[in-house]
Chain A
Amino acid sequence: MPNGLTVILHEDHTSPLVVVDLWYHVGSKDEDPGRTGFAHLFEHLMFMGSKNAPYPSFDAVMEMWGGHNNGTTSNDRTNYYEVGPKNLLETFLWLEADRMATLAEVITDDELNRQRKVVQNERRQSYENRPYGRAELVIPEVMYPAQHPYHWPTIGSHEDLEAASVADVQAFFERFYRPSNASLVIGGDFDPKAARAMVDRYFGWQDNRPVPRRATAAPAVLAENHAVTETDRVQLPRLRLCWHSPALYAPGDADLDMAAHILGGGKSSRLYKTLVFDRRLAQDAFAYQGSQMLGSLFQIGVTAKPGLTLDDMQRAVDEELDRLVSHGPTAEELERARNSHLADFFKGLDHLQTRADLLNHYEHLLGDPGACQQDIGRYEAATVASVRDALAKVAAGRRLDLRVLPGAAGGDLPEDDQAGAS
């Protein structure tokens, strides 16, 4: 649109449902140190009402007509969506447009105070009072230097959440929540001509303000290997290994998805076979390429069987890793990993909202909502050699060995808790 809003229409008349999926190109990477957790806090504040739909209209209107809505926030982006019967399309667009235009005008201290408490409860429920959850807060701190946009977790620190003022919130809103920084997908059972007219009507009058500066960062590297030990309220020790790896869609990213699958993707994977099945050292084993815009983390995790130590585990994991780095996967392993990945991809496409979200994902990451074939092509192009090379390059880098041992978990993790990083 002339004001910079990207609009993507996707018709599907198999069910009388519509999805409105709005991505703002702002995530926790766009926050400032000392002001963390804002993008996610917005997910909560955005449902506290806007000028013409005061609290609690958003959720109330939604449920009054059989729809539902939510949001998700990552390091890289924020996603707001509504799902419901097709007659709700115009209401969805009106609500999203009104809050894009007016949220900052109406946000109050009282609303901020209540939602910051909700978020602090979310942090406790998801991380601090959940087994092994604290590791997720420690990993970004150790892996990324203090000024890197991924140094802090998306949920933010209790300290920064406490410090957030209405003025901070308004400034953050003015900076990022504008048409030029958003893309809107309408999916489902609608008439595209009518939908275009609705989008014009509700979003077209909004100002064309420049695209905010996007966060950038040089690829992160670890200056040395780190060995960190944490305690948590758990029965069994768990080892987490983390390496820096290529960013989402960078060369090697898809190969590392395949490598992770071959190492730790379920029962037929190497770590499962060796550690869980044959040697009975581990209760579970997993590996994944955590792909993100400014750089990824390749991770392996294993949980020890009762009575066994992480030293046994670490040796066995390193042996498996060395073997895969040295010899590469078999052609059959690669084909299985590829088939499994692509099958999961197609299974996801059965779900309208997943599909709508994928269109925004491609738009956000690749500037082209139709980049599906390009994405699939990366997996089709992966070879035994490319997977081996990508893994060899990552494994040759310095890494974090994080050990979570049974013990007391302590209270809230403060922002400056360096978790004993060596």
Chain B
Amino acid sequence: MVTPTQMQAPPAVGPLPPLRTPVLETFALSNGLQVVVIPRHAAPIVSLTLMFRAGSDAEAPGLTGLASLTAEMLDEGAGDRSALDLAADLEQLGADLWLGAGRDGSQLNLQVPRKGFEPTLAIAADVLLRPRLGAADWERVQHDRLTALGQRRDQPEAVANIVADRVLYSDNHPYGQSSEGRESTVQRITLDDIARFHAAHWRCNQASLIVAGDVDPVALPAQLERAFGAWTGGPIPALALAGGARQPPRLVLVDRPDAPQSVIRLVAPGQPRLSPDRTALRMVNAILGGSFTSRLNFNLREQKGYTYGASSGFNFMRHAGAFSARASVFTDVTAASVTEFLNELRGIGERPITADELIKARATLLGRAAEALSTTGGLAATFGEISLYDLPLDEPGRFVAQMDQQDAASLQALAARHIDADRMGIVIVGNRSAIEPGLRALGLPAPELRDADGDPL
């Protein structure tokens, strides 16, 4: 037992344990479907992820929302089951099934107690191979989506994200539109479009299968073969994307009269997923706005009390990337908050990165990686992303090794090159009459006014 005076000295901290990467197996089914198996027996559950390489980046410009609606339609009835029967049968097995699409990929996620794994696989195979795509189901799903798109305008954070993407990417680039789509495009989508998207992209040669958790690796190949063996491949469609990220306008406002907070986004073009600078930029961002003690959160939350949280991040996507910094702040400190954001964005290239900041960035990212690898869901998600971008399976270990090669000076130089405070687009959703004068006083130009969908007013 210590005495109060002995509490003064913090205990010594031993060496950080190295990242423990999982032991995994890979094999292919007879149809070529690539499988990654990661056994983990801590809980009697199995997580399965099927990752497809096409997401909303594969949509034709007028059909925004098609990839996510296709994913959503697949479990609205499949094989012998109606939509409600399918939901009830999954529930009976204790299975969670989720289908969706993001920018760069579509996916099916499944989590189920071990004893329900095999029957759930059979349902998943129906969903993938034998979706009903019924007209009445489509009419309902389409209508629900249209309503949800309307409701999105109620949410200031969602509006800020939509507007930021609209101003950052050229109009015909899929990253400029949210993957949920917009009313005009969702109205235009037909059940034939859904069937075509499914037939073109939900093929076994465009997918990777990750199975993590309490599986029997000996029995698994036969189980998967029974479920997915009849699945066939098809030609891999080429994606020709026009344009990319562009320099956004300096100031964009979306008026939300009487809002008690302003939602702020600062956005600029970033780097694609396979950028050689990705690891270093993640470290830069951990220091700038990617952790609780980062410069942005420390300044805007802990020092000033302007916000519940300020953060930043690079979004590394297949065809292009984006940088953004964000916070929701008291309306009356909107301009002061923008000033602090710009100071910190300028400062990351100018104010020396300290040795402590470098150590902290590495340890924070290493800690997150270790935690992601400590649950079945995290394992499936980690290796799902690895397969989506065709990365080597030892990517988590490579990431740590790449971090070890960085020093403060090179991170600083990289930050100065990639984060330009004077060219950030500033998007604010808030009470325009209360905040515009303060923003003008900062020397910001007259704002471009947009509606909640990002359309110019």
Binding site for B on A (CB under 8 A): 12, 14-17, 51-53, 56, 59-68, 83-88, 90-91, 94, 97-98, 101-102, 113-118, 120-122, 124-126, 128-131, 200-202, 204-205, 233-236, 266-268, 273, 276-277, 280, 283, 303, 305-306, 332, 335-337, 339-340, 342-344, 346-347, 349-352, 408-412
Q: Interface centre among A102, A131, A350, by most B CB within 10 Å? A: A350
Are A101 and B7 also in contact (CB < 8 A) when A65-B16, A277-B140 are? yes
B7, closest chain A residue (CB): A52
Distance (Å) between the CB of B68 and the closest chain A CB?
Answer: 17
> Ordered nearest first, which 3 A-B pairs have the shortest CB separation?
A343-B94, A117-B305, A66-B367
A101→B10 contact, CB < 8 A:
no
**How many residues does chain B have at the interface if contact means C-beta atoms less than 8 Å apart?**
81
A88, closest chain B residue (CB): B13
Are A59 and B293 also in contact (CB < 8 A) when A16-B370, A91-B11, A346-B113 are? yes
Q: Chain A residues near B15: list those with CB within 8 A.
A: 87
Distance A102 CA – B359 CA, assembled complex (angstroms): 29
Contact with A66, one of B16, B88, B293 (Cβ below 8 angstroms): B16
A411→B260 contact, CB < 8 A:
yes
Are A339 and B93 also in contact (CB < 8 A) when A64-B363, A101-B7, A129-B261 are? yes
Q: Chain A residues near B336: list those with CB within 8 A.
A: none
Contact with B370, one of A12, A66, A91 (Cβ below 8 angstroms): A66
Q: Chain A residues near B13: list those with CB within 8 A.
A: 65, 87-88, 90-91
Are A350 and B43 also in contact (CB < 8 A) when A65-B16, A66-B366, A114-B303 are? yes
Question: Could you tell me which residues of chain B, from 41 to 58, have a CB within 8 Å of some CB in chain A?
Answer: 42-45
Distance (Å) between the CB of B42 and the closest chain A CB?
Answer: 5
Question: Could you tell me which residues of chain B, from 328 to 377, have a CB within 8 Å of some CB in chain A?
Answer: 328-330, 356, 359-360, 363-364, 366-367, 370-371, 373-377
Distance A131 CA – B159 CA, assembled complex (angstroms): 12
A14→B371 contact, CB < 8 A:
no
B376→A205 contact, CB < 8 A:
no
A232, closest chain B residue (CB): B154
B10, closest chain A residue (CB): A94
A117, closest chain B residue (CB): B305
17 contacts between A and B (CB under 8 A): A64-B363, A65-B367, A66-B370, A85-B367, A87-B14, A101-B7, A115-B305, A118-B307, A126-B308, A131-B154, A202-B2, A205-B3, A236-B147, A277-B83, A280-B140, A339-B93, A343-B95
Q: Interface centre among B43, B91, B147, B307, by most A CB within 10 Å? A: B91
Main secondary structure of the interface of B (DSSP, over half): mixed
B17→A86 contact, CB < 8 A:
yes
- Extra contacts, 8 of them, besides A14-B374, A120-B330 (Cβ < 8 A), are A56-B293, A68-B291, A122-B308, A125-B261, A125-B308, A283-B144, A339-B92, A411-B258
A408, closest chain B residue (CB): B258
Asked if B405 lies at the interface with its beta carbon under 8 angstroms from chain A, I say no
Q: Chain A residues near B10: list those with CB within 8 A.
A: 52-53, 61, 91, 94
Distance A118 CA – B371 CA, assembled complex (angstroms): 28
Are A201 and B375 also in contact (CB < 8 A) when A266-B91, A411-B260 are? no
Distance A205 CA – B5 CA, assembled complex (angstroms): 11
Q: Chain A residues near B4: list those with CB within 8 A.
A: 101, 205
B92→A63 contact, CB < 8 A:
no
Q: Chain A residues near B83: list those with CB within 8 A.
A: 267, 277
A268→B87 contact, CB < 8 A:
yes
Asked if B298 lies at the interface with its beta carbon under 8 angstroms from chain A, I say yes
Q: Chain A residues near B370: list those with CB within 8 A.
A: 15-17, 66, 85
Q: Chain A residues near B144: list those with CB within 8 A.
A: 276, 283
